[in-house]
Structure 1
Amino acid sequence: MTNKEKYGNEIIELAANTALFGLKNGKPAICEEIKCEECDFYESDSCKGSTYNFREWLNSEYVEPPVDWSKVAVDTPILVRGIESDAWTRRYFAKYENGIVYAWGYGATSWSARGSGDISDWKMAKLAESEE
């Protein structure tokens, strides 16, 4: 899926209001509504935003932004797996510590788990809502 496909409706809405586009945190934005320093096209004190750059971004492959696990609430549904070839397993987020995601075991939550020993660390994790 390209960025154009992912953000098509938002781009159409923006296009009705302006001809100048930027990107803020990987999402389309109206240039006049964001500071230059907030724009993903901004580099070394100058704007690299242009019709060409925006068109190039539109046609590039969409990349899911990384999750800030330190801000994920306990008991949030997540998908985990030990290695790339494993199927995703449904779990509930327990904690994030030293760069490692932990989930409650066997589908438990903080309310139903038997204690702090009922959590496991996982090599791969993603938010369940990002499943496609």
Structure 2
Amino acid sequence: MKNREKYKNELVKVCKSGELMKFFNNYVVPTYDCGNYEVINAEKVALLTALWLDEEYQKPEVDWSKVENDDLILVRDGDDEEWNRAHFAYYKNGKVYAWSGGKTSWTASSYMHWEYAKLAEPQE
């Protein structure tokens, strides 16, 4: 799936509202590590946006420092293991820690780290 397909509805809304600057700064600038909308010329904005739209969509990495305590996550220790439901405890030294036994901070007294973790989608 291309970025243009993933963000189609948002792009239409942005075009109608005239908030292309915000969209460009939030999505295109981080991808290309370029100057923001305010400092580069319109031709570069158009070219970079066109390139970005034709790239394959990649789910962004999780910024674990912004995940809230007790948020629902999925965890496992190996590539061939099933994902387990857990509640986020904290992130330290590249490791995601979750409350033990699928419990939350309200009921758990311990936590453990996992090799693999991802945010859980509502249907998961």
Q: Is TM more than 0.5 here?
A: yes
Counterpart amino acid of 2:3? Answer: N
Question: Which runs of structure 2 are paired with 1:31-70 in the superposition (5 Å)?
Answer: 41-42=34-35, 47=40, 49-70=44-65
Q: Tell me the C-alpha RMSD between the 2 structures.
A: 3.0
* 1:24 paired residue number: 25
* 2:118 paired residue number: 126
* Pair 1:71-2:84 in alignment: no
Report if the CA contact (8 A) 1:6-1:62 is conserved: yes
Structure 1 unmatched ranges of 5 or more: 28-35
Counterpart amino acid of 1:121? Answer: H
Structure 2 unmatched ranges of 5 or more: none
> Partners in 1 of 2:24 and 2:79 — Cα distance?
31
- Aligned with 2:24: secondary structure? strand
Change (3 A) 1:88 1:10: same
* Pair 1:93-2:85 in alignment: no
Counterpart amino acid of 1:124? Answer: Y
Higher strand share: 1
Change (3 A) 1:90 1:5: same
Q: Identity percentage over the alignment?
A: 42
Change (3 A) 1:130 1:68: farther
Cα deviation, residue 129, structure 1: 2.6
- Equivalent pairs, count: 117
> Partners in 2 of 1:108 and 1:123 — Cα distance?
19
Change (3 A) 1:130 1:7: farther
Change (3 A) 1:84 1:130: farther
> Partners in 2 of 1:77 and 1:83 — Cα distance?
19
**Which runs of at least 4 in structure 1 moved beyond 4 Å after TM superposition?**
none
Report if the CA contact (8 A) 1:23-1:40 is conserved: no
* 2:79 paired residue number: 84
Report if the CA contact (8 A) 1:95-1:103 is conserved: yes
